[in-house]
Amino acid sequence: MTNPLSGHDGPYDAPIEIRGFIVLPEWIDYNGHMNVGFYGVAFDRALDHLMDDHLGLGEAQVDALGQGPYILQSHMNFLREIRQDEPFWFRFRMLDSDQKRGHYFAQMLSGENTLCATQEALFMNVSHTTGRSAPYPDWAVTRLARMVQDHAPLDPAPQVGHTIGIRRSD
């Protein structure tokens, strides 16, 4: 099977920080802050960095393998507005993984440590030929498992595993 073209075998920082983002003018909505849809774009761009720089599952590897990660489910919490030209960054932790899937939690922060949004998501490796799930190569499974292990000691985040719904007091 194809060898990794990028990333590394760990150890992985706990959490992994991805920096260097800024709110673009075209991301601002009529409320004067970043539009909800662009939070998803920002989380996705940060995930690309995690996949390429740390796990080696970025675009070049996807092209080489003919398979890559697809998001199956995502849950975001919006905790603070973020405005045009405001710099922001991310913290990622891998919660779980298996031969085909990964489960992660990410935080979007601004300033020194101001939490703006969170995303919990599940991704699966998908073959571009069949459109169906495919096992990751052994090296990728090992890297994902190592990241889960390295992130296991982190304190639980309160947003992980939340359900969505209207809370009622009767």
Is 56 within a domain? yes
Round to whole Å and give the CA distance between 67 and 85.
Answer: 35
Predicted structure pTM score: 0.94
Is 94 within a domain? yes
Is 7 within a domain? no
Is 74 within a domain? yes
Q: Give the domain range for residue 114.
A: 16-151
Domain of 31: which CATH number? 3.10.129.10
Tell me the DSSP string of 76-127: EEE-S---TT-EEEEEEEEEEE-SSEEEEEEEEEETTTEEEEEEEEEEEEEE
Is 159 within a domain? no
Is 40 within a domain? yes
Q: What is the pLDDT of residues 75-124, one digit of tens each?
A: 999 999 999 999 999 999 999 999 999 999 999 999 989 999 999 999 99
Which three-class secondary structure string do you get for 126-141? EECCCCCECCCCHHHH
Q: What is the pLDDT of residues 56-83, one digit of tens each?
A: 999 998 999 999 999 999 999 999 999 9
Number of domains in the chain: 1
Is 132 within a domain? yes
Is the pLDDT reported for residue 37 higher than 80? yes
Is 20 within a domain? yes
